[in-house]
Structure 1
Amino acid sequence: MKKIIGISALIATSFSTFASEVNVYSYRQAFLVEPLFNEFTKQTGVKVNVVFAKKGMAERLEREGEHSPADVLLTTDISRLIELQEKSLLQPVNSAVLEQAIPSQFQADDNTWFGLTTRVRNIYSAKRLGNVDINYEDLADVKYKGKICTRSGKHPYNVALVSSMIAEHGEAKTLEWLKGVKANLARKPQGNDRGQVQAIHQGLCDVSLGNSYYFGKMINNDKQKVWADGVNINFPNQANRGAHVNISGVGVAKYAPNKSSAIALIEFLASEQAQQMYAETNMEYPVRAGVKKSELVASWGEFKSDALPLETIAKHRKTALKLLDQAQFDL
């Protein structure tokens, strides 16, 4: 078995092959990643320059072309990684460090992107319902008629979930499921994940879809804690394929001027130290095995996750958008 190379080995490498800086385009917020970048700079001497954005990364890279200064591309979910991959805006990375640190389920087959943290697409339920053993498929059951809240079906987090349903059940059954869920909605899809938990608190619905880390964010928010206190966080499909998970991820830009430093930064982000810092800050699950979860996240309990590779799921993204239109889900 190959020995996993840690950050200590990275430090031991001759930095003559590294540039003095590395440029990052990030969809992740500053408070999440700046502590990681600062630690990387402290250990290696490589300065990290960051451009933060909420959208438009692919478009910017296409405009900049081979003159782009971007080295590392940091994204919030699988859909945005696949967009960069499909537009040939990433380059392959051959790294034994990443191959061994990150499960193959969360890597691109062509080595153009790698997952860094995972999150579950949970189903939240009103506290008064008690513990709920639920599957995603159950959301189309008539017993939930008028009781479901969700954000737009076309948001990347929901598109990924629909894509996983297509991978599991095929197009026809997934379309039927979408129509069933739409018929059970308490209101037109709107807002964000936290807004759906607020709606449960307000008595507008009984169940909602939401990423796991939002539960932690609400618990730690003085104004939103009351919303979180009124729901249970449920891990769906525990008796069968497991809960759907998504990732935050990273890749090296196609024309990265500082490729060696870019790879060094990504390898650091996959290290045990960085994985621990990353997971603690954003209340996500470390992608690297053996890294301890935050105390709050661990308190939600263990769960079984869907083992299907995310790249396989993401291949159904365009079909998922087509089915959402056919179901008129957001109308």
Structure 2
Amino acid sequence: MRRPLARRLLALAAAALLLPAAAACGSGAEEGADKGNKEGKGGKSSLVIYSGRQQALIKPLLTKLEKAVGTKVEVRYGDSAELAAQLLEEGDRTKAALFFSQDAGALGALSKEGRLEKLPQQTLDKVGTPYRSAKGDWTGVSGRVRVIAYHPDKVTDVPDSVRDLVEPEWKGKIGYAPTNASFQAFVTGMRVLDGDDTTRAWLKALKANGAKAYGNNIAVLDAVDSGEVSLGLLNHYYWYERVAEKGADKVKAKLHYPRGGDPGALVNVAGVGVLKGTGQSEQARKAVEFLLSKEAQSYFADETKEYPLAAGVTSPVKDLPPLASLDSPRIDLGRLDSLRQTLAMLQDVGLV
């Protein structure tokens, strides 16, 4: 479950005082510093993972990871941005050896501050260059794509660009989730691609056009499916999970993938990075290798309908377009680290 926006904003503001590049700040720094790795650096203690991925989702996978690595695993769960900022605050004191982030921006924040070790080239080569760090210090393990969901009885010609959603014909017909991290990552991507001024103008126009705010992506999909709105902005896997649960004939909404490198087709990743200075680099690198194994990649493809990113692993999800066939924007995902500025912009224009 996502953290409340007020807490997220407070955390970001606190992190900005601690480290200019921090994207957010979490509470309980002493708890994070003291938990796990009880024998100290270099000891045969637990592999401590800070995870922005939900416990319900990845706990079964981490049980298998523990066996693969051959070391007891301890996990601290939380919001990716908050955990990244806490790792920055802890610095060399951290007991965490591996950071498993929900999105690339949090990994980019750690990379910018030099807190991640460079991964072996043979590990990096398993994942395409768009989905890993240009510096070689983190890699994506699963991918998700921004899409436009639409109600086929209400829309005959879906816009190929999210930039067109501010046109008068879509007034009051768009659903979105402004407090959701995936929407905020999309806005950050638009800022990188189009610049702050253009993005701010688009956000203002979206609000002026009567776009309807929902609490999360599931609510957006529900609104499109029921015809409450004609179009909705969300990540692809929500629709595929719904179809897997109810059957395609029970889901009215359809998906459209924007083209032409549009910001609305952003491919973001969940990824991992090895923290410097913990004395557990070998175990952490083994964990990265496991997360890129066929077993782990298939787990994400099956359980969450995300895209597997390791070479040679394909998704079994019916009708999911291959990642290589998508016309997504070319963007260094590490530059999605400026979440604080994105949240400030969303506040300024009145969307959160």
TM-score by length of 1: 0.80
In the aligned structure 2, how far is the partner of 1:242 from the partner of 1:288? Answer: 24
Aligned partners of 1:20 and 1:45 also within 8 Å: no
1:252 maps to a residue whose letter is V
Aligned length: 307
**1:240 positional shift:** 6.6
**Alignment match, 2:225:** 201
Name the CA shift for 1:40/1:18 in 2 (closer, same or farther; >3 Å). farther
Given candidates 189, 192, 201, the residue that maps to 1:176 is 201
Aligned partners of 1:194 and 1:218 also within 8 Å: no
Given candidates 253, 256, 269, the residue that maps to 2:275 is 253
In the aligned structure 2, how far is the partner of 1:279 from the partner of 1:19? Answer: 33
**Alignment match, 1:243:** 265
Equivalent runs, 1:135-214 vs 2, <5 Å: 135-152=161-178, 155-187=180-212, 189-214=213-238
2:316 maps to a residue whose letter is S
More off after superposition, 94-103 vs 45-54: 45-54
**Alignment match, 2:97:** 71
Name the CA shift for 1:252/1:228 in 2 (closer, same or farther; >3 Å). farther
Aligned partners of 1:21 and 1:258 also within 8 Å: no
In the aligned structure 2, how far is the partner of 1:82 from the partner of 1:43? Answer: 27
In the aligned structure 2, how far is the partner of 1:241 from the partner of 1:183? Answer: 20
**Deviations, residues 152-208 of structure 1 (Å, cap 9, x unaligned):** 1x5432222223323333333322222222122343x23000111112234331111
**Alignment match, 1:14:** none
Equivalent runs, 1:1-331 vs 2, <5 Å: 19=44, 21-54=46-79, 56-61=82-87, 64-86=90-112, 88=114, 90-128=115-153, 129-130=155-156, 132-152=158-178, 155-187=180-212, 189-221=213-245, 229-238=251-260, 243-296=265-318, 299-302=319-322, 303-311=325-333, 313-314=335-336, 317=339, 319-330=341-352
2:218 maps to a residue whose letter is R
More off after superposition, 277-286 vs 143-152: 277-286
Aligned partners of 2:184 and 2:342 also within 8 Å: yes
Does the residue aligned with 1:74 lie in a helix, a strand or coil?
strand
In the aligned structure 2, how far is the partner of 1:159 from the partner of 1:116? Answer: 20
Name the CA shift for 1:174/1:86 in 2 (closer, same or farther; >3 Å). same
**1:71 positional shift:** 1.0
Gaps of 5+ in 2: 1-41
Aligned partners of 1:186 and 1:204 also within 8 Å: no
Aligned partners of 1:103 and 1:287 also within 8 Å: yes
Does the residue aligned with 2:259 lie in a helix, a strand or coil?
coil
**Deviations, residues 265-323 of structure 1 (Å, cap 9, x unaligned):** 11221223322222222110011233111224xx1334414252333642665554444
2:237 maps to a residue whose letter is Y
**1:87 positional shift:** 5.2
**1:92 positional shift:** 1.9
Does the residue aligned with 1:51 lie in a helix, a strand or coil?
strand
Aligned partners of 2:145 and 2:267 also within 8 Å: yes
Aligned partners of 2:260 and 2:328 also within 8 Å: no
Computed over aligned residues only, the root mean square deviation of the Cα atoms, in angstroms, reads 3.0
Matched-pair identity in %: 26
2:299 maps to a residue whose letter is M
Aligned partners of 1:193 and 1:211 also within 8 Å: yes
In the aligned structure 2, how far is the partner of 1:166 from the partner of 1:304? Answer: 21
TM-score by length of 2: 0.76
In the aligned structure 1, how far is the partner of 2:157 from the partner of 2:293? Answer: 36
**1:218 positional shift:** 2.4
Aligned partners of 1:19 and 1:260 also within 8 Å: no
1:41 maps to a residue whose letter is E
In the aligned structure 2, how far is the partner of 1:173 from the partner of 1:243? Answer: 17
**1:78 positional shift:** 1.9
Gaps of 5+ in 1: 1-16
**1:94 positional shift:** 3.3
Aligned partners of 1:19 and 1:261 also within 8 Å: no
Name the CA shift for 1:33/1:315 in 2 (closer, same or farther; >3 Å). closer
1:292 maps to a residue whose letter is T
Does the residue aligned with 1:168 lie in a helix, a strand or coil?
helix
2:312 maps to a residue whose letter is G
